[in-house]
Amino acid sequence: MGATIVGNRLRKLRAVPRLLFREFRQFLRHRSLARRGVDVDSSAVIMGRCEIIGRVRIGARTVVNQSLLDGRGGLDIGHDVFVGHATIVTATHDLDDPHFKTVYRPVVIEPFAVIFRNATILPGRTIGRGGIVASGAVVSNDVAPMTVVAGNPARVIRERKAVHELADIRRMSGYVGHDWRQFASVFASDTPPGRLP
């Protein structure tokens, strides 16, 4: 019994350098983005290679994973949002203008929205609270709150019954470095690895 407890604690201790490295990388990313004028909440997680340009605000507990966020026209992402491998564009060209002028329109993504892989949000669109954009969808119109849209162009396929307000998207995305208190309590307890209280 005593050897098992020591073994569990050693396994947990081996995870510490990896968690420290993840947290340090997040800290550096947040500082780098802040220097470029991007407002990222300290609890938000930026994973993988993301291209973030312009006036972007990312809310609390939001996860952005390998996405292109074009904020030249203004991009506001609320809290508890998941953006995975998506493209959000706030600039386009006026096709009827002889000078082919660039036109900027802000995009707003309200809290608890989810934007899945290869989805594209076009300029001037709003994704309502709890809205879900399915993989590969091209959003050319606003998405109403609590609706699921799919296709090109995106169309409503169903209503959403509840938002993920009790879920921690950061943990679901595979990022575990954000909650040191919980990690420390697991380390201090004799809970087997992989099971959190």
Active site residues: 93
**Rounded to whole angstroms, how far apart are CA atoms 79 and 68?**
18
**Rounded to whole angstroms, how far apart are CA atoms 172 and 166?**
12
CB 63 within 8 A of CB 45: yes
The dihedral formed by the CA atoms of 165, 155, 77 and 170, expressed in degrees to the nearest 10: 40
**Rounded to whole angstroms, how far apart are CA atoms 131 and 172?**
18
